[in-house]
Amino acid sequence: MSEIARIEVGGKVYEYPVVEGTEGEKGIDILKFRADSGYITLDEGFGNTGSCRSAITFIDGGKGILRYRGIPIEQLAEKSSFVETSFLVIYGHLPNKEELKKFSMSLTQEAPLHENIHQNFNGFSTNGHPMAILSSMINAMSTYHPDLLEVDGDEQFYSAAVRLISKVRTIAAAAYRTSKGLPLNYPKKGSNYAKNFLELMFSNPHEQHVPSEEAIKALNLFLLLHADHEQNCSTSTVRMVASSGANMFTACSAGVCALWGPLHGGANMAVLQMLEDIEKNGVSVNDYVNRVKDKKSGIKLMGFGHRVYKNFDPRAKILQTAAKNLLDKMHIQDKKLEIAQELADIALHDEYFIERNLYPNVDFYSGLILSALNIPLDMFTVMFAIGRMPGWIANWKEVHDNKKGKISRPRQIYTGPTENDFIARDNR
Ligand code: SDX
């Protein structure tokens, strides 16, 4: 007999079924609550509200657990690649050799952009933010694939997914090159996903960029760790857009826009800016932490805290080690890594952060890796978007495939003026 929840309100008792997920997560299904009672529930920020059932990613914030399709992120980080993990996130199983070969080849094949798209980049101002260019160009790209706007069947879904995952990398590099007034590069056959991106970013007509193995490995890990993360702000945005029946390209373009904010994907840029400020202004880490604790300062310790993790973000642990290893291998002495580690050491032993369950999140160390790869600050959140593309596509697919799904349309508590009449202009 499944558990029943009882809500007593307005002198009546209403009963609703409790649903339980495969990891024992429980939720009260209040689908009929407003129809029954006339009340709605209010949960600003949705911290207590499940928007959907999903089989893609599981997070246990208390234990610092993250699994893609049940596989722990630590195992994927050690044994998998971004391309293989993208297939896992989208299709729900690790690809066999043939599937992986076909998927990799499709990504290579789809890397180039339609030649006319190159002209679009000339329409952006040279100091335009790459996130604005990325979200625009994802939609612009879809105009060259009108046949993929209505995904009907596995083949069309596959074509749209590989185009998005592959071309988002080419668009991102082109956005960077455009912002620097540099000629656009063309993808090369034979390079894997991460290597191709670095070649697209840093090659020039007179010299082909040859990324180091450690750079390729570090970027591959960065992208893999960002592949999905349950119902975060940008993924929920993708699902919201998908629920109206909108196509995969435009839903992912909306995901880019939601990701941009400094409280979300924009935090990786804000962390580097914070570390650079501390380094440049010679502020002691202790002083900085004290400013953060002083509410009046309005300063947050960027890269710290999380809506779900009330323990270490497992991705932060992996990225901390990866950042140190990369800097050592590249013989880079980056004071910002020391500052980051000192910040973390102090915060993790300070009551203010402990009582609020504030730990380093994915953004705290990721920027140090991007910095070591010479990726400019304003491209950091673009890198997050490239990594998150498979997760957005997988979530779009869950909504698209759910034939019983409904359009997302939340309610509200109205707090505006009660009824009043129009006043003629001469009487205002
Ligand atoms: C990502 O959702 C996801 O999964 C996102 C993500 C993904 O992979 O998609 O994991 C990626 O977005 C990671 C988060 C990156 N953002 C940042 O690093 C920005 C800094 N962090 C905060 O803005 C904040 O922690 C959030 C936005 C991440 C979470 O905010 P919540 O859950 O709404 O928590 P809150 O703002 O209610 O904070 C609770 C308390 C408050 O203090 P009190 O009012 O209780 O006294 O903690 C404080 C906050 O002021 N607090 C911080 C803090 N984060 C929260 N104080 C100082 N520094 C911080 N970073």
Element (H, E) at 367: helix 362-372
pLDDT bucket at 44, cuts 50 / 70 / 90? very high
Task: Give the nearest ligand 1 atom to 232 CA.
Answer: 2
The chain-wide mean pLDDT, for the chain, equals: 95
320 band by pLDDT with thresholds 50, 70 and 90: very high
User: Average of pLDDT values for 126-146?
Assistant: 92
Q: How many residues does the chain have?
A: 428
Q: How many Cβ atoms sit within 10 Å of the Cβ of residue 8?
A: 8
Amino acid at 36: D
pLDDT at 127 over 90: no
CB of 228 within 6 A of ligand 1: the answer is no
**Radius of gyration of the CA atoms of the chain, in A:** 23
How high is the pLDDT of residue 336? 93
First to last CA, the chain: 64
CA 123 to chain CA centroid, nearest Å: 27
Is the pLDDT at 383 greater than 90, yes or no?
yes
Cα of 308 vs centre of ligand 1, distance in Å, is 9
Per-residue pLDDT tens digits for 245-254: 999 999 999 9
Confidence of residue 418 (pLDDT cuts 50, 70, 90): very high
- Residue 393 Rama label (left phi>0; alpha psi -120 to 50; beta): alpha
2 pLDDT exceeds 90? no
Report helix, strand or coil for 172.
Answer: helix
Band (125; pLDDT cuts 50, 70, 90) = confident
Nearest to 49 by CA among 25, 74, 82: 25
pLDDT digits over 165-211, tens only?
A: 999 999 999 999 988 889 999 998 888 999 999 999 999 999 999 99
Ligand 1 centroid distance, CA of 400 (Å): 31
Cα of 67 from ligand 1 centre, angstroms? 21
Question: pLDDT value at position 190?
Answer: 82
Given a contact cutoff of 8 angstroms between Cβ atoms, the answer to whether 183 and 205 are in contact is: yes
The number of the ligand 1 atom at minimal distance from the alpha carbon of 59 is: 4
Is the CB of 46 within 6 Å of ligand 1? no
**pLDDT confidence bin for 346, thresholds 50/70/90:** very high
Banded pLDDT at 417 (limits 50, 70, 90):
very high
Whether ligand 1 lies within 6 angstroms of the CB of 307 is answered as: yes
3-state secondary structure of 164: helix
Q: Output the pLDDT for position 283.
A: 87
Contact 117, 141 (CB under 8 A): yes
Mutating to test ligand 1, I would choose from 300, 301, 355, 362 the residue with most ligand atoms within 8 A of its C-beta, which is: 300
> Does any ligand 1 atom lie closer than 6 A to the CB of residue 84?
no
Q: Is residue 1's pLDDT more than 80?
A: no
**What strands, in cross-sheet order, belong to the sheet with 57-60?**
57-60, 65-68, 71-72
Catalytic residues: 306, 363
pLDDT digits (tens, 9 = 90+) for 248-302: 999 999 999 999 999 999 999 999 999 999 999 988 999 999 999 999 999 999 9
pLDDT score, position 287:
94
Q: How many CB atoms lie within 10 A of CB 80?
A: 21
Mean pLDDT across the stretch 150-177?
A: 95
pLDDT at 206: 93
51-71: pLDDT as tens digits: 999 999 999 999 999 999 999
